Structure 1
Amino acid sequence: MGDILVGACSWTDKELLSSGWYPEGHRGAEARLRYYTTRFPLVEVDATYYALPSTRNSTLWVERSPAGFRFDVKAFSLLTGHPTRPGALPADLRQAATGRHGRAEADPALLDEVWLRFSGALEPLLRAERLGTVLFQFPPWLAPGTTATSVLRQCRERTEGWPVAVEFRHPDWWRPDRSAFTFDLLTELDLTAVAVDMVQSLPTSIPPVTPVTSDRLAVVRFHGRNRAWGTGTKEERFRHRYTPEELSSWTPAVRVMADRAREVHVLFNNCCGDAAVRAAETMSRLLGTPSAPDRTDGPDSPRRRRPPSGSAPAPS
């Protein structure tokens, strides 16, 4: 069975910082990360979606984390087709990037430069074997079709050699009549499919399928089950405290995913107060996973695992 790593989708969220989860004496940037790594073996970096990462920050993350710890890094918004403010770009790119409606225009030259800087900034994580995966969370308007398939192929070409996970926000990707095509495409490109837990009563709800499309890594992200998903403030969208019963319904599927991939990342995105870290603590107990990294081997370690085949049973 592959390793199962559990963590939260941020260690710097303002609501988490004010929740009291970090003890006294652990309020500075370095102390926070060092404390977090004693509690979990994995974290998702969401700040890289809003602004390009820097080599300096990646280097500091490596220095402040132990061997075996994993950072899953969200791709910058411009690289996933989301609206991007020119102010989110480095100063020397802003003027050339300003387009209509005050958004950065994704012209080829700009994209080339952004891809170059984004990948360069992650090199310290990659060299230190701290990079778990790069998460490409595509917008809800990226529906299955010829254009979307081309986007995925271009994404893989740009990220050759990287571990990459893909989360779709358009539900048609995992509808019963489309899921086999999606599975085959991601498997062909060696892109990890991200399984999602979210409220299931909305037209935009992503089905709770658990495909394993890469034998290196499988990923599950828990967004909470608030009906305000897609509307309202961030706190309204993500305000949900998972019960042990809700999390227990996922443990069989997670274990099956671990039979099919060398590493499984379980991440909590219900970032409202300390809800995400508390859910991660509960899930760690339910799965019996370590609370801190105790390995130096990663998703590409040469251990023999059963190859991926279809989906694990969906949770109830």
Structure 2
Amino acid sequence: MGTIRVGTASWTDKTLLASGWYPAGADTPEKRLAHYAKNFPVVEVDATYYGPPSEQTTRLWAQRTPPGFTFNIKAFSLLTGHPTRVSALYKDLRPETTKKNVYPQDLPPKAYEQVWSRFLAALDPLAEAGKLGALLFQFPPWFGIRRSNRDFLLEVVDRCKPLRPVFEFRNASWFEGANRDETLDFLRAHELPYVAVDMPQGHKSSVPPVMAATADLAVVRFHGHSDKWTSKDIYEKFGYLYSRAELAEWAPKLRALADEAKNTHVLMNNCCADFAQRNAATLIDLLGDAAVPAPAG
């Protein structure tokens, strides 16, 4: 069996800070990250989706965590084709426009290339410290199965080398009928890690929980089952606390996935109050020896 690292998709969320999960003494960003790293071996940074990180910030993350700790980084929205706030772009690359949001095609080609290179370069301190796990490319609901999108996955791999991108789809067409095997076969043929999800079903963005390893790295993200999944309020959207019984059903599935992959990352993305942290701790307990412990500080 390969390794299983369990963590959450945030350590700085305002509702987490207000929940009491952090001890009173963890009253600075440095102390909170250190406390998180005492409890979990991996974290997913979602803030990088909304705005590219600076190299100074990633260097601090590397310095403030013990050896063996892993950061997964969510790709900046522009790089996955999502609408991106003009104000989130690097100042010297912002196009002259009255639009609040832009897409890749709204930038000159040279500016688009610069966004890619600067985003990836900012991750160098984590990579050099051996603490960079995967780059999460979560695609928008309109990114369906077609040749041009499969080609884009390969383009992302080439752009990110030697870093490791992983791919999460939000369009069910990738797994409808015969497309399921076609998708998994394509990913395996190119050794592209796939992100399995647990999420509400019955929505345009819903993808079934297909548990499969398509490379030596597998990733599973738990989004919860809120009945307000379409809400624009993220705390309504992700405000779901899994029961121990629900997670107990997942434990054998995760062990089976780890039998297929060398490394498996499991991230709780139900980030509302301390739901994700509580559920991650429960899942680690259920997995027992299969779960990698938090690194010694």
Instruction: Give the TM-score of the pair, scaled to structure 2.
Output: 0.94
Alignment of 1:56-95 (within 5 A): 56-94=56-94
Aligned to 2:201: 200
Alpha-carbon distance between aligned partners in 2 of 1:232 and 1:86, rounded to the nearest angstrom: 20
**1:258-301, CA deviations, whole angstroms, 9 ceiling, x for partnerless residues?**
11111111100100111010000110100012441269xxxxxx
Aligned to 1:299: none
**1:30-53, CA deviations, whole angstroms, 9 ceiling, x for partnerless residues?**
001011000000100011101111
Aligned to 1:102: 100
Alignment of 1:231-310 (within 5 A): 231-288=231-288, 289-293=291-295
Amino acid at match of 1:144: I
**1:94-148, CA deviations, whole angstroms, 9 ceiling, x for partnerless residues?**
2xx2446332324321211011101100111111110110000000000101221
- How many residues were matched structurally? 292
Alignment CA distance shift 1:88-1:290 (3 Å): same
Aligned to 2:9: 9
How many percent identity over aligned positions? 47
Alignment CA distance shift 1:66-1:179 (3 Å): same
Aligned to 2:26: 26
Alignment CA distance shift 1:213-1:78 (3 Å): same
**1:206-262, CA deviations, whole angstroms, 9 ceiling, x for partnerless residues?**
1011111111x1100000001221333111101100001111111111111111111
- Residues 188 and 214 in structure 2, CA contact (< 8 A), matched pair in contact too: yes
Say which SS state the counterpart of residue 211 (structure 1) adopts.
coil
Alignment pair present for 1:174 and 2:172 = no
Aligned to 2:190: 189
- Residues 9 and 268 in structure 1, CA contact (< 8 A), matched pair in contact too: yes
> How many angstroms does 1:72 deviate by?
0.4
Alpha-carbon distance between aligned partners in 2 of 1:14 and 1:110, rounded to the nearest angstrom: 33
> How many angstroms does 1:24 deviate by?
0.6
- Residues 144 and 172 in structure 1, CA contact (< 8 A), matched pair in contact too: yes
Amino acid at match of 1:6: V
Alpha-carbon distance between aligned partners in 1 of 2:13 and 2:57, rounded to the nearest angstrom: 17
Say which SS state the counterpart of residue 194 (structure 2) adopts.
strand
Alignment CA distance shift 1:98-1:248 (3 Å): farther
Alpha-carbon distance between aligned partners in 2 of 1:61 and 1:231, rounded to the nearest angstrom: 32
Amino acid at match of 2:118: R
Aligned to 2:154: 153
Alpha-carbon distance between aligned partners in 1 of 2:109 and 2:190, rounded to the nearest angstrom: 23
Which is bigger in relative contact order (C-alpha 8 A, separation at least 6)? 2
Alpha-carbon distance between aligned partners in 2 of 1:88 and 1:232, rounded to the nearest angstrom: 19
- Residues 86 and 98 in structure 1, CA contact (< 8 A), matched pair in contact too: no
Name whichever of 11-20 and 172-181 sits farther off.
172-181
Name whichever of 23-32 and 227-236 sits farther off.
227-236
Say which SS state the counterpart of residue 4 (structure 1) adopts.
strand
Name whichever of 102-111 and 54-63 sits farther off.
102-111
Say which SS state the counterpart of residue 166 (structure 1) adopts.
strand
- Residues 37 and 292 in structure 1, CA contact (< 8 A), matched pair in contact too: yes
Amino acid at match of 2:64: R
Say which SS state the counterpart of residue 255 (structure 1) adopts.
helix
- Residues 202 and 227 in structure 1, CA contact (< 8 A), matched pair in contact too: no
Alpha-carbon distance between aligned partners in 2 of 1:87 and 1:7, rounded to the nearest angstrom: 30
- Residues 69 and 293 in structure 1, CA contact (< 8 A), matched pair in contact too: yes
Alignment pair present for 1:212 and 2:210 = no
> How many angstroms does 1:184 deviate by?
2.0
Alpha-carbon distance between aligned partners in 2 of 1:187 and 1:280, rounded to the nearest angstrom: 28
Instruction: Give the TM-score of the pair, scaled to structure 1.
Output: 0.89
- Residues 38 and 291 in structure 1, CA contact (< 8 A), matched pair in contact too: no
- Residues 221 and 267 in structure 2, CA contact (< 8 A), matched pair in contact too: yes
- Residues 175 and 207 in structure 1, CA contact (< 8 A), matched pair in contact too: no
Name whichever of 151-160 and 162-171 sits farther off.
151-160
> How many angstroms does 1:188 deviate by?
2.9
Say which SS state the counterpart of residue 156 (structure 2) adopts.
helix
Amino acid at match of 1:281: A
Alpha-carbon distance between aligned partners in 2 of 1:202 and 1:293, rounded to the nearest angstrom: 38
Aligned to 1:143: 144
